[in-house]
Structure 1
Amino acid sequence: MKKTALLVISLMVLLACTLAGCGNTKAQQSETKTIHIYQFKVEISEPLNKLKAEYEKTHPGIKLDIQSVGGGTDYGASLKAKFASGDQPDIFTNEGYQDRDTWLEYLEDLSDQPWVKDLDDFARKPMTVNGKIYGQPMNLEGFGFVYNKDLFKKAGITKLPQTIDELEEAAKRLKAAGIIPFANGYAEWWVLGNHFINIPFARQPNPESYVADLNKGTARIPGNPVFDQWVKLLDLTIKYGNRNPLTTDYNTQVTLFSTGKAAMMHQGNWTQPQMDGINPNLNLGILPAPIDNDPSTGGRLAVGVASNWVVNKNSPVKQEAKEFLNWLVTSETGKHYITKEFKFVPAFKSITSSDETTGDLGAEISRHVREGKIWSWNFQRFPKGLNQDLSSSMQAYIAGVITKDEMLQQFQGAWDNLKYR
């Protein structure tokens, strides 16, 4: 009887322990929190997934759900669709300025976060409103004509072009050597409506004032001498570019360049990871985009903050989201990913990078920033929706459907329709 009683008691204890274990497991499962991240830099999607595994390993109970949407997809439209459907991300990306104002009602004030004091002054402005900071800059980026140094050498180009005539001479030499001078991804609205259109705005005597004057109606685009010069540069890329530029998307453009078929493309340092995946032995540099024959106006690259991490202030896990962003820029693992995996030029004073970590293009951007040889980014200041309209007019011009004057008139008409005061 005693043995039977002991056996029954032992079984009951074992059953109780098992049930308690199951209860703990269910409790642990119920405590797991998921941070939904929605971002448009598709070129870092692969290393972001590696970072996800690292973070989840050291932060039990936290899961990262990362969606990368960009390239040929309209990120802004897809983000609006997510909010409209109630599927709001906890962290998403924002370009700043007009994009910041569009989403301001959803943005958490991050001014009290530990990383704010370490932020580069250069990177604060796009996400600052009334002294409050609503986003964490991803990085600094710059763009111009990315070029293949080995192909330049093959074509006998010993002096880097600083003027538009010198750029055309380089294009002629490349073409004579059987190399496509320019890989143009003009199927993408942002290649034209963000980056290429930035050139004539950055060359204005005071770009910020020029944008403000366009909004006030006291400045115009048709008749502006800088725009007249800029069209010559656009014509040059078309004349010496790949066939069918209007059906060439971003991936095709980068592949055309990375495989050595083309010597130049108007892109920036964000392309480095993708190009390394295709050909890690590329010898790269970035050329400024000249629009005239005055060498003193050249030598600069357009540099700014392309994207910022923002936290949805209505998120049920916004504290966990802020903790993740703080870890990203303060932990050694996060810093490693920013510089070595993403190949970013950091926007923080305490995060240092070397030419080896950021790649050839990041090194060029860093050098231009240090030397103060930069043009401003202005396309983020445009009225909302204008960039796509400008791109459509440029595509019509490239297709030969409209003239230069008609294109510039369409620019003005689109601005007048969308301008804000």
Structure 2
Amino acid sequence: MLIFVLLVLPACGTNDRSGTENGNAEGDERVTVKLAVWASGAADNFAKAAEEFNKRQNKINFVIDMQTSYTEYLGAKVASNDLPDLFFLNPYSEVQQFARNGKILDLSDRKFNDQLYDSMKASGTYESKMYAFPTVLEMLGIYYNQDLFKEAGIEKVPETFDEMKEAVDKLNAKNITPFAATFKDSWTLMHMLSTLQGAILGDDMDDWIADMNAGKGTYDVEGSNRVYEFLDLIKENSGKNYMDADSTTGFNALANGEAAMLLSGEFALLNLSSINPDLPVGLFAVPVTDNSADAKLDVDVGISIAVNKDSKNLEAALEVLDYISDNNDKNGWFHHVSDSLGSSPPAMPFEMTKEYPYFKDYTNYMNAGKVRGWNYLQLPSGFGSTAGETIQGYMMNGLDSKQTMQALDNGVKELLQ
């Protein structure tokens, strides 16, 4: 699930499994097609999806190769010119980098292109051609315990910054910790920055991204003070020792009812199935400004799948990709990897068999057109790591807002050199 620019951990965290393969018994004469993925809590779902494909035919052995240290793994494969048949890439800049270097296949003629949401096609595009399948969408926002909101007397989700502060005050009045902390893991903070910066940029985000990639933009824009006011609100209302809490601690705090809110993605709910599957968790857009119209959910492609242009089993790899990208297959890939609590929905129409409260909220935002993309994914490849570590410095009170914005600007410029 998700991860993100090549130099950072995937969004959904990691586990201790490396190089895990799910295939048929040794001696099977099938052609083996390997999909390399980064480690995540979705290991079992991937395994079941691959097993389903292998049951349906006797020519291809579809194998999932899960790598804990995906950055190092993929870098080594590039260096040795030994990329797997199919592999995860981060959307936008990383897909563009691999396409520009001639490493991945043009997929413009595949059937999935007609099914994708138009707004998500750019994530896999380079020079007007589709070079990666935008697999799933991930939604960044504030996940909240509906029961704790009711207990605190919060009747509607906040849509402005003042309403957010009022909600925090009501939770504190009931001795409920407002926010779950995850800040020991810097990748959670790159997500946070993306949502806050996106809100203050609004309709100017595309122009800002273009300026940043041209080396003439800055994080210090009109309204940027609100980004740091919101970060301060979170710092002051995430309990004691908030910098000691990693993503697992924060995810569990929401699941156990120890905190009312968590600014994160749907992957944070994967552990609910085992901890508290009936917990009513809703979702709302991060309310950064004083204008409710700016409260948009941050939705973008979290995983792209690319095809090795030089794969020795190219036709078989494309057959596997067709299986993965079929959103009408009732027992196919998406049934196993997207149709469960905390899973990421496809970047194309898909009907879940069970509707969770947060997913209903996500659908309402999508239908209303109140969504925006993730800006950090469209900045130079590798910037996500810089962004997360820089915001970590601010959260630890090691940098003030001006120093933080200057460090972010410098981080982009260094990667452009």
TM over 0.5: yes
Is 1:322–2:321 an aligned residue pair? no
3-state secondary structure, aligned to 2:264 = strand
Is 1:165–2:143 an aligned residue pair? no
For 2:43, the equivalent position in structure 1 comes to 45
For 2:78, the equivalent position in structure 1 comes to 83
- Which of 395, 401, 421 is the matching residue for 2:392? 395
How far apart in 1 are the matches of 2:330 and 2:312? 28
**Counterpart AA for 1:380:** L
**Counterpart AA for 1:144:** G
1:202 deviates by: 4.5
For 1:311, the equivalent position in structure 2 comes to 307
C-alpha change, 1:61 and 1:251, in structure 2 (3 Å) is: farther
1:226 deviates by: 2.5
Q: Percent identity?
A: 26
**Counterpart AA for 2:205:** P
1:122 deviates by: 1.9
**Counterpart AA for 2:339:** K
1:252 deviates by: 1.8
| 8 Å contact kept, 1:109–1:132 | yes
How far apart in 1 are the matches of 2:216 and 2:79? 37
**Counterpart AA for 1:93:** F
| 8 Å contact kept, 2:284–2:361 | no
Structure 1 runs, 4 residues or longer, greater than 4 Å off: none
3-state secondary structure, aligned to 1:180 = coil
Q: Normalization by structure 2: what TM-score? A: 0.85
1:391 deviates by: 1.6
C-alpha change, 1:101 and 1:76, in structure 2 (3 Å) is: farther
For 1:56, the equivalent position in structure 2 comes to 54
How far apart in 1 are the matches of 2:175 and 2:314? 55
For 1:16, the equivalent position in structure 2 comes to none
**Counterpart AA for 1:33:** V
How far apart in 1 are the matches of 2:210 and 2:248? 35
Is 1:359–2:356 an aligned residue pair? yes
Is 1:348–2:348 an aligned residue pair? yes
For 1:4, the equivalent position in structure 2 comes to none
- Which of 410, 413, 416 is the matching residue for 1:413? 410
- Per-residue CA deviation, residues 217-276 of structure 1 (Å, 9 max, x unaligned), is 443223x22321111111111100133333322222111111111111111223333322
Alignment of 1:3-402 (within 5 A): 29=27, 31-40=29-38, 42-69=40-67, 75-84=70-79, 88-104=83-99, 105-204=102-201, 205-222=203-220, 224-298=221-295, 300-330=296-326, 331-334=329-332, 335-341=334-340, 343-349=343-349, 352-354=350-352, 356-357=353-354, 359-402=356-399
1:87 deviates by: 5.3
Q: CA RMSD in A?
A: 2.3
Give the structure with the higher percent helix.
1
- Per-residue CA deviation, residues 146-202 of structure 1 (Å, 9 max, x unaligned), is 101011111222232222222122222223323221112112222112443342134
How far apart in 1 are the matches of 2:348 and 2:391? 36
How far apart in 2 are the matches of 1:274 and 1:402? 33
**Counterpart AA for 2:249:** T
How far apart in 1 are the matches of 2:194 and 2:171? 25
1:416 deviates by: 2.3
C-alpha change, 1:396 and 1:94, in structure 2 (3 Å) is: same
How many residues are matched? 385
1:41 deviates by: 6.4
How far apart in 2 are the matches of 1:168 and 1:185? 20
How far apart in 2 are the matches of 1:88 and 1:346? 25
| 8 Å contact kept, 1:109–1:133 | yes
How far apart in 2 are the matches of 1:257 and 1:213? 38
How far apart in 2 are the matches of 1:32 and 1:184? 47
| 8 Å contact kept, 1:162–1:295 | yes
C-alpha change, 1:65 and 1:248, in structure 2 (3 Å) is: farther
3-state secondary structure, aligned to 1:315 = coil
**Counterpart AA for 2:91:** G
3-state secondary structure, aligned to 2:347 = coil
| 8 Å contact kept, 1:140–1:306 | yes
How far apart in 2 are the matches of 1:131 and 1:294? 35
**Counterpart AA for 2:386:** D
Q: Normalization by structure 1: what TM-score? A: 0.84
**Counterpart AA for 2:416:** K
1:371 deviates by: 0.8
| 8 Å contact kept, 1:269–1:365 | no
| 8 Å contact kept, 1:193–1:388 | yes
**What stretches of structure 1 of length at least 5 have no aligned partner?**
1-27
How far apart in 1 are the matches of 2:279 and 2:136? 23
How far apart in 2 are the matches of 1:215 and 1:358? 39
**Counterpart AA for 2:88:** T
* Range moving further from structure 2, 175-184 or 371-380: 175-184
How far apart in 1 are the matches of 2:216 and 2:113? 38
| 8 Å contact kept, 1:339–1:357 | no
C-alpha change, 1:228 and 1:41, in structure 2 (3 Å) is: farther
| 8 Å contact kept, 1:202–1:377 | no
1:34 deviates by: 2.0
How far apart in 2 are the matches of 1:415 and 1:115? 33
- Per-residue CA deviation, residues 42-66 of structure 1 (Å, 9 max, x unaligned), is 1322211112222222222433332
